[in-house]
Structure 1
Amino acid sequence: MKIGDLATASDTPVETIRYYERAGLLPEPPRTESNYRRYDDAHVGRLRFIRHCRALDLSLDEIRTLLALRDRPQDDCGEANAVIDEHLDHVAQRIRELKQLQAQLRELRVACTQPGAGRDCGILERLEQQDPAPAVAPAGGATDHIGRVHRR
């Protein structure tokens, strides 16, 4: 099947398929004499596996580890357990940070109890006066705008 057929079969955009190939998650398929990529059912299965992992917010490195284990079914699955355990820790940390963010936003929201002129808005006033709350991150982690910690 051609890449468009693979995209349809796996409900994945063509550009995402190409990205996964460049990232080394999906092996580049053989090409036809006219230089078209030729995919098979194994590519569909692998792509569905990758998409399921991405739906669980697993990083590309975590997916690589799981794919390597998938490719060696005779190996011990302890490493898969370790990947999921570490990911669970990341999710728990993210939940804690999101709850902290929610509390900060609620506190900010009570600063303005009724609509009015922007110059009288307590929210705008507090945002002008307060320093942003620091993102909490364990050593070695990276944070984005919501303080989410996850190694990618």
Structure 2
Amino acid sequence: MKIGEIAKQTGLKIETVRFYETEGLIAPPERSGGNYRLYNSTHLNRLSFIKRARDLGFTLDQVRDLLRLADDPRGSCDEVDAIAELHIQEIDRKLADLTVLRSELVRWGSQCDASTIAECKLIDALTSVRASAST
């Protein structure tokens, strides 16, 4: 199949398929007589794997490691577990950060009973944060 077809089947953009090829995450496809890239089911499976891993938030380096491990089905999954555990820790950190951010926004919003922007607590808090971040 041509690049547009595999992009559509995987839900990736054409540029992303090319990028993954350039990064060595997929093998270079064969070329047609007209120099079109011709992808096969192996490319489709690998690109689907990459897309799913990226959708789950794995970094490109983690995806590279997971692909390397997946290429050796008889290997131990200890390394896969370690990659997953590090990713879970990162997700937990992000969730904690988001919880703090949400609490701040709720607090600012609940303090605001202003009728004009000049009296708005949220705008005031954002302005104060900006001022303190620039020093």
Q: TM-score, normalised by structure 1?
A: 0.78
Residue in 2 that maps onto 1:79: 79
Q: By how many angstroms is 1:132 displaced?
A: 7.6
Q: By how many angstroms is 1:119 displaced?
A: 1.5
Deviations 1:54-79 (A, max 9, x none): 11111101100000011111221111
Which protein is richer in helix relative to its size? 2
* Equivalences for residues 5-20 of structure 1 within 5 A: 5-20=5-20
Alpha-carbon separation, structure 2, partners of 1:37 and 1:125: 55
Amino acid at match of 1:117: T
Alpha-carbon separation, structure 2, partners of 1:101 and 1:37: 46
Gapped runs of 5+ residues in structure 2?
Answer: none
Deviations 1:52-108 (A, max 9, x none): 101111110110000001111122111111110110010111111111111111222
Q: Secondary structure at the match of 1:110?
A: helix
Q: TM-score, normalised by structure 2?
A: 0.87
Alpha-carbon separation, structure 2, partners of 1:123 and 1:9: 44
Aligned-residue RMSD, C-alpha: 2.0
Residue in 2 that maps onto 1:99: 99
Bigger relative contact order (CA 8 A; separation at least 6)? 1
Q: Secondary structure at the match of 2:31?
A: coil
> Sequence identity of aligned pairs in percent?
32
Alpha-carbon separation, structure 2, partners of 1:118 and 1:107: 17
Residue in 2 that maps onto 1:146: none
